[in-house]
Structures are given as structure tokens and as C-alpha cells.
Amino acid sequence: MSDQRPAISALQVEQRTFPPPAGFAEGAVAADPGVYERAAADPEAWWAEQARALEWSTPWHTVCDRSDPPFFKWFVGGALNASANCLDRHLATRGERVAYHWEGEPGERVAITYRDLHERVCRLANGLKSLGVGRGGRVAIYMGMVPELAVAMLACARIGAAHTVVFGGFSAESLRDRVNDFAATVLITQDEGWRNGRTVPLKQNADAALEGAPGVAACVVVRRTHGEVGWTPGRDHDYADLVAAQDPACPPEPMDAEDMLYVLYTSGTTGKPKGIVHTTGGYLTAVAATHRMVFDLREDDVYWCAADIGWVTGHSYIVYGPLANGCTSVMYEGAPSTPGKDRLWAIAARYGVSILYTAPTAIRMFMKWGPEHPAAHDLSRIRLLGSVGEPINPEAWMWYREHIGGGRTPVVDTWWQTETGAIMVSPLPALSTTKPGSASRAMPGVSVEIVDEAGHPVGDDQGGYLVITEPWPSMLRTLLGDDERYVATYWSRFPGRYLAGDGARRDRDGDLWLLGRIDDVMNVSGHRLSTIEIESALVDHPTVAEAAVVGRADPTTGQAIAAFVTLRAGVAGDEALIGELRDHVAKKIGPIAKPASIVLTDDLPKTRSGKIMRRLLRDISEERHLGDVTTLANAEVVAEIAEMAQAQRSAEG
Ligand code: 7RM
């Protein structure tokens, strides 16, 4: 026995449990509890069964080739086309079914059927061919949330070109770096996007990026706002003109299962962005299967993933998964507060949304805005809620279930990464008894473990490193152009196992609790504390909407806990409240977790996909020069928080 301290201490005790609602299992996609055992008994057979739900032009001969780890291959020898699986396959049975109910921020509404989408994709696919793109080609896409973004991805997939989507909120420089790293020859963009009642100058940014991207020979421009934009004759092509001239039919290119489907860059917190490489057969298999099972997809569902397609969540669960399953989705272009703070609920009511998938950061914002906004709309069709992107604080989970789900719906907290391609850990809504803040367990066919520093599995309720112990079909294949970094980043710390970079613990019922990024773990008097449990204890207080904690250097305890807290709408903060919040944490999870300081702030620094950036809060707390803030969605809050923290330090003397 070792007397080693746990890799991460576990503090939180959550007692509430929610079994599936009565009747939910009737006709559910995953209603047989034996599914976990069956998949575990033969994971490859399980995944092969999922792959058979797709249409293959050539069957595979080997489910998983493990001859050169960690360079695994799936469905070797098989051929298929992702666009054909998302479109053509549905035409005979559901061609007139709506694929996307699209709503523009200013209010336009368009219903796009599978047949419409198929024709649009074929035309653009032919248009891309006319620009010299074919099998093995590379296309960059820099757009807002317009239907043409999904069309562009599928058009690439149709002709065997790989795409990289660059989130429309990124700068010209980020775009340039990604376009060059990817070696794109064509860029698809739009004149301007809509966000918060203002236009986003996408083409202008694209022009600036292309000045430093000589490999791009053609730029295709969707007219969205019809605003004035620069034009480079010979290079720039009007999207509408390009597609109007094309044949509305384009046979899909049969692709090898292991041909690249796309690259998506993850900025991470440090270093050069990593180009995550996803391939065709395994990726499509896993996103379609997980989308069906986790969201219990039924024929009459109206599904809405409110993420941006610029992130992996949008790739897997707005485009490829839902379309492979022939489902009806909602797609919204703009900000959730435009024109009012009830915009999302007006949309959900209008289309009868039955499944909603969004992020904790959005849920905490809805909490902050108040329950009157969802209460003003009929959300009675909602039957299932999903969460993704960060650990969800139990109080945010409860609020989501209560105020969006009417207290009736299961909430599925789905853990996964750009690298994993598809959901890895999640409840199955008809089978799992959920707990607020727990992501339940690994999906059927997926094996995870929690290990200590030495790589040994930890016991129940012990925090440690989350690893995935077996290859899975939608795993990243490498980092574009950098096999070594792929091996070093994910497969070296615990050889033979994939290091996710997140902490986790498993409770006595076998349920997993994600503890946040390993880099954010604090060390207070030798106790390794995760951020999430302390943050959740703060969010548990009725005045708190959002909280972030970090470890700041301390001469006596090694690190001291510094908290940053955003209050709910209408709550005024003062010294008394700060004292109350510190006591609340001590009472809820123990004195070791009591924050040494709490700064009240209107907002927290977030990445553009909404994840709290604790690194910057550490810099502020330790009075360090603030490094790169360009990857922040809300850089202006940083100076504000720094000032408040400074004021507090002077007040404390
Ligand atoms: C899908 C996505 C990945 C990182 C991951 C975690 C965090 C995502 C959850 C979560 C706790 C969750 N891809 N994360 N989902 N943490 N519970 N349900 O977000 O590549 O952008 O981020 O996000 O730290 O490693 S991502």
C-alpha cells in the first residue's frame, strides 16, 4: 500500500439523483441496460454494428488496425462518402423533411429540406471542382452561422476535399495561420456576419489574411448582408454566381474510411494551435451513433444544438451526426440576447424544439438573466437537455432542468473533446439515474480509467487523471504535420493510454465527475484541489451566477485560493456578502476550500467557445504581466478584474 496523497482530492458531496422519467424508456433508442456489457464484451463488434448503420460503397475488411500504435486505423478497406451518408441516403425516405430550420439574427426564417440541401451541396461541389479542388484538396471555411457553412463542409466531403473551419470570431491573423498550416487552396467566406445587431467584417478579415496566404488561389464569397466589400478580380468569386452556373447533380466520391475528412485547430491555452485530424468512416460512425443514443433521437424530434459550427460541437452535433441520422435541426445565426434576452426561447417555442444541447457558460448566463425570459415562452415540447464544454455546476444543472426543462426532462452532461470527435462520457437518458454535475459513465464501446501519477487506477471517490484505455473510431489520427507532438501530447505520459488532460473521480455507484483541466489543479497545504468543486459551492449560493477559482502563490500554504464571482441580476455585492460566500464554501465542502480572497466581477475571462480562462486569473492574482489575451472572447473584462483585484489588495493593506 502506498501512503501517497491522491492525485486530486475530492471534496464535493452531491446527494440528489434523478432516475429517468416514467415512460421515458418506452421506445427509447437505448432502453436495454445490457448495452454496456454487450459493448464491453466485444467493443470492435459493437462499433462494427454502429458502422453498419451507415452506407458503405465498399465493406471494410478490418474493424481496427492496431499494428502501429498510437496510429490506429478503423474500418480498414472500407469506402464511403460522408455527404452521401448525410444527404443522398435520406432522399428516398425523407427528402421533404426539414434538415435545418434556419433563423437569421435580424429575423429571416428559412426551412431547408434534405432535398434542398442535397442540391445546394451538389452545386457547390461542382463549383469547387471548377476552381480546381478535387480528391485530396484542401478548403478553408471562415463564416458565421449561415446554412452555406454546412453546405460548404458537405460539398468538400462530397468531392473528397478536406475542410478546415475557422470560427468566424477569430482574427485575420488566426485565419492566416490556419489557412497556411492547412495549405488551403480555396477559402469560402461571406461578406459580413450578424452578431449582436452589428456586422462582423468577415470578408475584410479574409482579405487581410489572404495577403499573407499566397497558396489560396480562389476566395468564394456568400452575400449575407450585401454590405460593401473589397473585391480582387480573378481571385474572388460570388457564391451565388458560382453555384448558379453548376449542374445540380454531383456524384459523391467514394472515400477510403481513413481519408481525411477535416482538420480543426484547437488553440489551447499555450503554444501553436494544434491541427486535430479526423478521418471519414470511424468519425461518422461514432458521431451518428452517439447522437442517436445520447439524445434518444426519435422520428418526430426537433433538435437544437446551440453551439457554433466553428467548434467541434458544431461539426459533430450540428452537421455530421444529425444529418447522418436524417434529423430535423434548428440553426440560429446570432446572439442569444438579440433583440431580447428571450431570443433562444422564442426560437425554441416557434419550432417546437424537443431536444436542446448547450454549454454551462450559456446556462449560467441564463441564470444570471433570470427565469422570467424562458418562462415567457411555451417550452413544453422540450423532453431532453444536454450540456457540453465545461464541468457543469450542480446548481446550474438544477436550474437548467427546472427552468428550461420544466422540471420534467433528463439532463445529459456530455464529456468529450475536439480530439475525441464524439461524446465519450454521458448518461443515456432512458437508462441512467443522473446526478447534477456528473457525466455518468463511458459510452458503450468506450473504456476510460482514472489513474494516479504512477498510472495506477485510483479507488472510488479518489481524484486522478482521466485516460481512455482503448482506441475508438472517432479518435484524432494525428496532429496535422506533427506526428511527434501527437505522440508526446496524448500517449507518452501513460504509454498505451490516451491522456485527456482532465481530472476526474468515480463515485461508489460508478458515476464519473469531471474535475476540470489538470493544469488548473491547485495545491493548498499539500492538498491537490480541483477548481470545479469550490466553484460549484460558490454557485450553490443563491446570489451567485458564476464563479472561477485559481491557486495564487502563498508563502505559508504554497497556494491560496483566489475566487472571482459574478452575481445574479439585481444582487448588490458588499464586504458582508463576500464574508458570507467564504463561509458558505467552508460549510459546504470544508475549511480547506475556503477562498482566501473573493473578487466580485461583472464577467469572467472566457475563450471564444465560452470556457473560463483560469490562467489569466492566475496572472491577475499573482500580479504578473498579462500575457496574450487575443484568444479571449471578452478581453476588456481582464483589465476590469485586474483593477478590482488591485483595489481589494490595497484595501487589505
Ligand atoms: C466538446 C468540447 C474539451 C475540453 C475537455 C474538458 C472540457 C467538455 C465537458 C468538459 C467537463 C463536460 N471540446 N469539457 N465537456 N468538462 N464536463 N461535459 O468542448 O475540445 O473544445 O474542449 O472541454 O476540459 O477536455 S473542446
Q: What is the pLDDT of residues 212-260, one digit of tens each?
A: 999 999 999 999 999 999 999 999 999 999 999 999 999 999 999 999 9
Quick one: pLDDT band at residue 436, thresholds 50, 70, 90? Answer: very high
Task: Check whether 635 has a pLDDT greater than 90.
Answer: no
Report which ligand 1 atom has the smallest distance to the Cα of 425.
18
For 308, residues 6+ apart whose C-beta sits below 8 A from its C-beta are 145, 167, 168, 169, 314, 609
pLDDT at res. 637: 81
Confidence of residue 3 (pLDDT cuts 50, 70, 90): very low
**How much distance in Å is there from the Cα of 415 to the middle of ligand 1?**
6
Measured by CA distance, the residue closest to atom 6 of ligand 1 is 390
Q: Which atom of ligand 1 is nearest to the CA of 609?
A: 21
DSSP secondary structure, 307-366, as one string: S-TTSHHHIIIIIIHHHHTT-EEEEE-S-TTSSSTTHHHHHHHHHT--EEEE-HHHHHHH
Of all residues in the chain, the percent with pLDDT exceeding 90 is 90
The DSSP letter of residue 112 is E
Instruction: Tell me the pLDDT band of 614, cut-offs 50, 70 and 90.
Output: very high
Helix-, strand-, coil-residue percentages of the chain, each rounded to 5: 30, 25, 45
Burial 339-354 (b: 16+ CB within 10 A, else e): eebbbbbebbbebbbb
How many residues are recorded in the chain?
653
Is 70 exceeded by the pLDDT of residue 426? yes
Predicted pLDDT at 625: 73
Residue 268 is predicted with a pLDDT of 59
Task: Express as a percent the part of the chain with pLDDT over 70.
Answer: 97
* Residue carrying C-alpha cell 481519408: 259
Tell me the best of 265, 390, 434, 511 to mutate to test the pocket of ligand 1, counting ligand atoms within 8 Å of each CB and taking the most. Answer: 390
Average pLDDT on 171-187 reads: 97
- Whether residue 164 contacts residue 178, with contact meaning beta carbons closer than 8 Å, is answered with yes
- The stretch 335-339 carries a mean pLDDT of 97
Checking if the pLDDT of 355 tops 80, the result is: yes
Q: How confident is the model at residue 451 (pLDDT cuts 50, 70, 90)?
A: very high
Distance 61 CA to ligand 1 centre (A): 33
Average pLDDT score, the chain:
95
Atom 12 (ligand 1): residue with closest C-alpha? 415
Residue 381 vs residue 6, higher pLDDT: 381
Query: Does residue 627 surpass a pLDDT of 70?
Result: no
Distance 204 CA to ligand 1 centre (A): 32
Residue 142 main-chain phi, psi, to 5 deg: -135, 95
Compute, in angstroms, the gap from residue 416 CA to the centroid of ligand 1: 5
Residue 535 and residue 550 in contact, taking contact as beta carbons nearer than 8 Å: no
**pLDDT tens profile 526-569:** 999 999 999 999 999 999 999 999 999 999 999 999 999 999 98
Dihedral (CA of 439, 441, 447, 452) sign: positive
- The answer to whether residue 1 scores a pLDDT higher than 50 is no
Q: How far is the CA of 472 from the centre of ligand 1 (A)?
A: 17
Q: How far apart are CA 5 and CA 8, in angstroms?
A: 8
Q: What pLDDT does residue 638 have?
A: 82
- Give the residue whose CA is nearest to atom 15 of ligand 1: 389
Does the pLDDT of residue 145 top 60, yes or no? yes
pLDDT of residue 647 exceeding 70, the answer is yes
pLDDT digits (tens, 9 = 90+) for 113-143: 999 999 999 999 999 999 999 999 999 999 9
List, in order, residues 6 or more apart from 315 with CB less than 8 Å away.
153, 165, 262, 264, 309
Query: Mind listing the pLDDT tens digit for each residue in 489-524?
Result: 999 999 999 999 999 999 999 999 999 999 999 999
Residue that the C-alpha cell 447534477 belongs to: 436
Residue 265 grid cell: 485547430
What is the per-residue pLDDT for 630? 66
- Domains along the chain? 35-335+414-505 (3.40.50.12780), 525-652 (3.30.300.30)
Q: Which amino acid appears at position 471 of this protein?
A: P
Above 60 in pLDDT, residue 653?
Answer: no
For residue 86, what is the DSSP state?
I
Ligand 1 binding pocket, CB closer than 6 Å? 266, 311-313, 388-391, 413-418, 439, 500-502, 514, 517, 609
* Three-state helix/strand/coil letters over 470-514: CCCCCCCCCECCCHHHHHHHHCCCCCCCEEEEEEEEECCCCCEEE
Q: How far apart are CA 328 and CA 96, in angstroms?
A: 11
User: Residue 640 has what pLDDT?
Assistant: 81
Residue 444 to residues 50, 139, 496, 632: CA-CA distances in angstroms?
11, 34, 20, 36
Given a contact cutoff of 8 angstroms between Cβ atoms, the answer to whether 12 and 539 are in contact is: no
Which protein residue's CA is at the shortest distance from atom 4 of ligand 1? Answer: 417
Could you tell me the pTM of the whole model?
0.95
- Residues 477 and 466: their CA atoms lie apart, in Å, by 19
Residue 457 has pLDDT above 60, yes or no: yes
Residue 218 C-alpha cell reads as: 480562389
Q: How confident is the model at residue 270 (pLDDT cuts 50, 70, 90)?
A: low
Pocket-testing residue among 417, 440, 466, ligand 1, by greatest number of atoms within 8 A of Cβ? 417
